[in-house]
Each structure stands twice: as C-alpha cells, then as structure tokens.
Amino acid sequence: MSWLSCKNLTVSIGDTLVCQDLNLELKQQQCWALLGKNGSGKTTLIHTLAGLRPAQQGSIHCQQQALSLYSAKQRAQKLGVLFQHESDHFPTTVLEYTLIGRHPHLDWLQWESQQDIDIAEKVLQQVDLLALKHRDINTLSGGEHRRMNIACLLTQNPDIALLDEPGNHLDLQHQVETLSLIRQQYENRVLLMSAHDINLAARFCTHALLLFGEGESMQGPVPEVLTTTNLQRLYGIPIEKIETQDRVFFYPQ
C-alpha cells in the first residue's frame, strides 16, 4: 500500500515543465532520492506533493485519501516538509523553535507539556544541539541552523517526510550523522529527499526519481536507476562509477 502517491501529475513553474503525467507511489520502508539539475523543479515538486502549491493536472493521495481532504492540522500530522531555505522573522531560542514541531499535535491554545519538551530535547541531543537549546537562533551558524530545522521536523514526527536538500550547510561529519539519524528514524515509514550529492543518495536511499527536464522523468530502485548512463544524461557530463565491497560511488570525469 502506498503512503503517498500521485496519479497523472503535471507540474510546471514559469516556463519549466517539472513533470508530466507522473505516476508515483511512495511505500512504507522506502527512501526516495529526487535528483535533477539546478532549476529542474525539485523544490517545486516537493511543495506540490506536500499540498503547498497546486498541480496543473492530476491527483495526490496520502494514505489512501485525497490530500486535499485533510485539514491543515491533519496534514501536518501525516506529512512534514524540510524546506531548502527557512526564514526566521522573530528571535527565539533553539528549544522554542524546535517545539514548533509539536504544534500539530496540540489542541488550540494548548501549551507544550513536559512530554513535548522531553521529545524536543531528545531530538536536539541526537542532532548535537542540546547544549545550545537556550541560544538565540539568530546566533547559530548555517550548519547549526540546518540541524535545528531537521530537529524541528523530527520533533513533528510525521509519517511521511519530504526533505529539500537536507545536507545543505552541513559538514561531512554532520551530513553522514544527520542523514543516518533521519534514515534510522524513518526505517519503517516514508522518506523523499532532494539532493545534489549522488553518493549520499546512493548510500541512504532505496529508490530514485530523476527529473530530466521538459516533463520527462525516470523512477525505480536505486541500483536500476542510478547508472552512469542515466546520470550522464541527467547532468550532461561524463560520470564514472566505482564499486567497493560495501558501496557504490559516482564522480564526474
């Protein structure tokens, strides 16, 4: 059974046709990589799948129900989005920001409980930010800010997570540690993440969706889709592949 699906989905932004008649099923225990050149519409497609912008054609279903039938609160309980860029317009602490993730689970005007605080602090510990929980978010580095955004999403704890460039601003250590954490947390749920790093996609994802432009796409299990032929076509440059005992790596010539 698919947890998030679209049928005959056509999405465009400006003069860019992101996908045309796309049929996609994201099922339990799957982690999808969304790959494409800059400007191919990865962010636009994520926002469309999340119900944040309309499609030109087609339907989107979340756990067998039309996404449009969910209230905003219900949708936030089912589906969470990590945006590529987060704008903060007011000063607050790291812990207070992270607790925003608990709001879909609270009643109107209900304050966060100690249980909610415990959940947020546990996640901050996991992303190596607990020591900064009282810091003003405007004093954080880019990488710390990104890990805080991820902590907020994990505190929200939706069934389906759509991540737009989760590795942005993260150093190598935090890229691997944070993506490993997210992958572990969503082992029995559904993940989709856009990425520019092919090797992170190959390491952490089970399936891939490639956006070639002009509405054309390709999808399937990572070993079948992430090939040098497909990646050369996707990025327009020669790609080499290295296989080790444990992993596959791609690099441009």
- How far apart are the C-alpha atoms of 34 and 11, rounded to whole Å? 15
Quote the pLDDT of residue 77: 96
Q: Is the model more confident about 173 or about 107?
A: 173
Quote the pLDDT of residue 234: 98
Pairing of strands 30-36, 207-213: parallel
Q: Are 75 and 69 within 8 A, CB to CB?
A: no
- How far apart are the C-alpha atoms of 40 and 178, rounded to whole Å? 26
CB atoms within 10 A of CB 244: 7
Which contiguous run of DSSP H or E holds residue 58? strand 57-62
Quote the pLDDT of residue 146: 96
pLDDT at 96 > cutoff 70:
yes
CATH 3.40.50.300 is held by the domain 2-252 = yes
Quote the pLDDT of residue 109: 78
Contacts by 137-141, CB closer than 8 A, 24 or more apart: 137/88, 137/91, 137/92, 137/93, 137/94, 137/97, 138/88, 138/91, 140/94, 141/169
Quote the pLDDT of residue 214: 97
Digit-coded pLDDT (tens) for 15-49: 999 999 999 999 999 999 999 999 999 999 999 99
Quote the pLDDT of residue 49: 98
Q: Which amino acid is at 156?
A: Q
Q: Which amino acid is at 45?
A: L
Average pLDDT, the chain: 95
Q: What is the mean pLDDT of residues 94-122?
A: 94
Quote the pLDDT of residue 91: 87
- How far apart are the C-alpha atoms of 120 and 122, rounded to whole Å? 5
Backbone CA torsion sign across 26, 146, 55, 20: negative
Pairing of strands 239-243, 248-252: antiparallel
**What is the SS3 assignment for 55?**
coil
Note the residue count of the chain: 253
Quote the pLDDT of residue 108: 82
Q: Provide the Cα torsion 180, 183, 188, 192; round to 10°.
A: -170
pLDDT at 87 > cutoff 80:
no
Quote the pLDDT of residue 89: 64
Digit-coded pLDDT (tens) for 179-202: 999 999 999 999 999 999 999 999
Query: What is the radius of gyration, based on Cα positions, of the chain?
Result: 18
